[in-house]
Structure 1
Amino acid sequence: MKLRDAPSSCPSLWRCLPCPPAEMRLDLVLSSGQSFRWWESSPGAWTGVLGGRVWTLRQDGDRLWYTVYRQEDEQEEEWDGCPAKAAKLDATETDRILRDYFQLDVELSALYRGWGAADPLFRKVASDFPGVRVLRQDPVECLFSFICTSNNHISRITAMIERLCQAFGRRLCCLDSRPFHAFPSLSALTGADAEARLRALGFGYRAKFVSGSARAIAEGLGTEGLCQLRTAPYAEARRVLCALPGVGAKAEAVPVDTHVWHIARQRYGVALGGKSLTPRAYQEIGDFFRGLWGPRAGWAQAVLFCADLHKGQKSAGSQHQAWES
């Protein structure tokens, strides 16, 4: 049986990590617009691409279960009566990849308590949205994904990233007739026809930003230099990133966009930055939330964003039901 014809699971090849819901809610984290490579392949199970491999994740009680699939060039052999489907990878390494991706070394429940003590509004929202943490994504994938978020919404961004990966990324495997591709390399996005191909894929004005940033990084700091910005001082990292085509002042420890601006004005009653999002407004709003929530202010903001996102989805669903009735 080929991989694409294989059943959806092979339980003996699943592994797990300790992960209580207070420390992470998989469904909230993977649907909150941080990454656009995951889809709910069955109720409670999420399949996506991470580290050049295809994974399925499932949370059950205090455990995070996962399996990793073989790439197509590894499909020749089968073992234990299970179709050539799950990769024989080092368990220590796969555990490390997941722990790093979800930043499981950060004690989230303690952060929630601190944010709640400082902010009554956060405390009210947090009780319904526990376990929202920030992903530690590959810098190249994260950068180009968020260039695509300009004037966009999650479902459309997800579709754009899928087209980008299919057109420029290496094919990894096929599950239930669905192909999965790696995120494109910088070299794949720097070709002379990259911008035209991206426009044909529906990227519009973002096509110029994606191809332009790919060339700027390839000719400048490179992939390694981009990764090193993780440990650079905030001001330096911001300066370098904002010099790239399509990257603006939204690149902050608290990502200030019109959504966060409205939260600051409407929910916190702060009149910062005047009536529009000027560079001064970006700085002032970011400073306000960093002063309120502390060093991991971006994590606290992710909780409020997730709450607003789900509130909006629920409202849209109610409107849709009313329309149908």
Structure 2
Amino acid sequence: MSPHLLSVDQLDLDRISTLFSLAQRMEPIARREKVCRVLEGAVLGNLFFEASTRTRVSFHTAFSRLGGSVCDTTGFTFSSMAKGETLTDTARVLAGYCDAIVMRHPDLGSVSEFASAINVPVINGGDGPGEHPSQALLDLYTIQKEFKRVGRPLEGAHILMTGDLKYGRTVHSLIKLLTLYPPLHITLVAPAGLEMPTYLLSLAEDRGHKIELRATLHENFEPIDVVYATRIQKERFTEEMVENFAGVTDEYRVNKAFLDQRCTPDTIVMHPLPRDSRPGANDLSPDLNQDPRLAIFRQTDNGIPVRMAIFADLMDISSDFDKHLAPVSWRVPAQYGVNDTTF
């Protein structure tokens, strides 16, 4: 088994089940009911060459809640790569400092190149338009938890993905994971030029899933179980693409009207975040903020136990961490957000 997590292609249903069982065991630590020191003395290198809030802080938090310490570095300016150092040289140096490394980089395949030089576990925190395996795992974990809450199986579910499906690495990894399960109905809605890569469509169809392509959300759909919205990633656009997209209005804006007209009371609304909440943005509307179907913050909360499970698996502590548990000694709020839904 590889010491790294670079792609969801490394995962099968047994490995996913193992990781999710670990994540469930991590829940009391993630919910701040228990303290764990199993990784005391271990150091994580958080190596982010591209902007990040959730992924970077989530991995930092997950490692810290297992008792480890974290060294953060962000951007090329503060890296020796700005002086011409290679990825493999940087990898070997950091392997001498750290016990695990999370890396995000704007170039496709860069994290794999980095990991190929070392034996210290490396986790892909996003490589350009490529993959984001830990995000896909927490997304799938969220879907399974939410489906269990409403009492429906994953098999046969209708999942709608919309937004930037070309550059949105989260949907690339998620659709790969979803296709490992019994047949699903997956509807993909994207602007022209931002469609899901054809190799992923072929993969899903070859595995027996129903794939439906739509050009706009202003259509009728079969009842939708999951809406997965993504931000239009203009930072990856060419100048011509920016001009072409300027004429698009609200065809891809997921709002309360869309949910009320085309979804059900049990539909789950997800987003990898950040969402663009500015007026006119083709993204997830803030008018859903009071809607219990909006699962985006339950989704981000799930990132902590899932990423703790990844560390436990890669660092081989899954059988030991229970021995290191103790009650927390500080006050923990019953709800993290003032508007969090109570079920």
Q: Give the TM-score normalised by the residue count of structure 1.
A: 0.23
Higher relative contact order structure (alpha carbons within 8 Å, sequence separation ≥ 6) = 2
Q: Give the TM-score normalised by the residue count of structure 2.
A: 0.22
Q: Which has the higher helix share?
A: 1
